[in-house]
Amino acid sequence: KKKLSRIDLQNMKDKGEKAVWMTAYDFTTAQLAEQAGMDMLLVGDSLGMVVYGYNGTVPVTMDQSIYHTEAVRRGAPNTFIIGDMPFGTYQAGWDDAVKNAVRFHKEAGVDCIKLEGGVRVADTIEAITDGGMLVMGHVGLTPQSTGALGGFKAQGRTADSAMAVIEDAMAVYEAGAFSLLVEAVPPEVTKIIADELPIPVYSIGAGVDCDGQVMIVSDILGVFQAFTPKFVKKYANLGAEMQKVFETYIKEVKAGEFPAAEHTYKMVQGEFEKLQK
C-alpha cells in the first residue's frame, strides 16, 4: 500500500472519489486500519475522552498526543496520518502553534496537523503553512470550544449560524489549509462549502455531499459507552462482545477450567524424575 499525498487527496475530490478515515490512538488499531485500506488516520484529541476518560477534549496535552501518534505511526507506516493540535497548543499565538506543529512532524511523523476554528485561527493556519506544513481546518462544532458554544451542539442550523460556518470555511481555505473537516452541521451547509471550496471537504456528522467521512473508531466499533452522537453509525457492538469475553474468562478461571493442558509448557523428557530426587 502506498501512502496518499495531498495531491492524491485533491485528485480524489476532483474525481468525486470519497476519502474514508477514522481516529486511532494505538498501534494495533492503526495496523488493522491500514490493512483494511483506510485512506487516512486521525489521532484525534477525542483521545482524551476515549482513552483517558476526560469528559471533554480540553485536558489533552501535547505529550499525550505525541505518544499516541508515535504508536499509530508505527502501526500504519503507509497511511496518511493527521495530528490533532490539543487545546492550548495553538491558542496563545502563532509561534507556539508553529513549534507544536513542528513537534508533531519531528517526533511523531505526521503528514499534516488539524486545528479547530475559522476566522479566528486564520493567521495561525497561515503561519504553520508558511512553515512548510500541511494544515487541515475544522469548523462547525469545534469540541475544544464547547464552553463558548454552550455544549456539544450542532452548528449552522439557522441562516446566521450557517453563514458563520461558511465564513469560517472560507477563511480556513484562504489561509492556505489543504483540506477541511466540517463537524455536526446540516448537509445543505456542508454541500455549499464542498461545492464552493476547491480543497477536499470532509464530514463528521455533516452529511454525504462532500469529499469523504471520518468517524471515531470507538463509535463505529460500539465500544464507547459515555454517549452516542446522532451522527454515529455503530457498525458493531464490540463493547458487548468484550464484556462477554471478560465474563467468560472470569468464570473459567474461577472454575479451574482455564488454563487447560494445551495452554501449558511440557518439561523436557526425564527432567521431572530428576527434579523429584
Residue with smaller CB distance to ligand KIV, 63 or 252: 63
Instruction: Give the active site residue among 34, 183, 257, 273.
Output: 183
3 phi and psi angles, rounded to 5 deg: -65, 135
Among 101, 108, 214, 221, binds ligand KIV (CB under 6 A): 214
DSSP secondary structure code for residue 118 in this structure? S
Closer of 45 and 168 to Na ion (Cβ): 45
d(CA 117, CA 192): 18
Q: Select the residue interacting with ligand KIV from 34, 39, 84, 111 (CB under 6 A).
A: 84
190 binds ligand KIV (CB under 6 A): no
Residue among 154, 128, 143, 135 at smallest CA distance from 199: 135
Helix axes 94-108, 62-75, angle to 10 degrees: 30
d(CA 160, CA 165): 9
Q: In whole angstroms, what is the distance from residue 160 CA to residue 155 CA?
A: 10
User: 222 near 237, Cβ under 8 Å?
Assistant: yes
- Could you give the CA distance from residue 222 to residue 234 in angstroms, rounded to a whole number? 5
- Residue 203 binds what, of ligand KIV, Na ion, none (CB under 5 to 8 Å, by partner type)? none
Number of shown-chain residues binding ligand KIV (CB under 6 A): 10
CB of 241 vs ligand KIV, minimal distance in Å: 23
Residue 45 interacts with ligand KIV (CB under 6 A)?
yes
Q: Which residues contact 119 (CB under 8 A, 6 or more apart)?
A: 167, 168, 171
Q: Say whether residue 84 binds Na ion (CB under 5 A).
A: yes
Residues 83, 12: Cα–Cα separation, whole Å: 21
Contacted by 216, from Na ion, ligand KIV, none: CB < 5 to 8 Å by type: ligand KIV
Instruction: Specify the residue, 152 or 249, whose C-beta has the smaller distance to ligand KIV.
Output: 152
β pairing state of 112-114 and 212-215: unpaired
The reply to whether 116 sits in an annotated binding site is: yes
Binding partner selected for residue 29 from Na ion, ligand KIV, none, CB under the kind-specific 5 to 8 Å limit: none
Report if residue 44 touches Na ion, rule: CB under 5 A.
Answer: yes
Q: Which of 39, 45, 111, 219 binds Na ion (CB under 5 A)?
A: 45
Q: How many CA atoms lie within 13 A of 230 on its CB side?
A: 10
**Near ligand KIV by CB under 6 A: residue from 9, 13, 19, 23:** 23
Would you say 135 or 204 has its CB closer to ligand KIV?
Answer: 204
Tell me the catalytic residues.
183
- List residues binding ligand KIV (CB under 6 A): 23, 42, 44-46, 84, 183, 204, 214, 216
- List residues binding Na ion (CB under 5 A): 44-45, 84
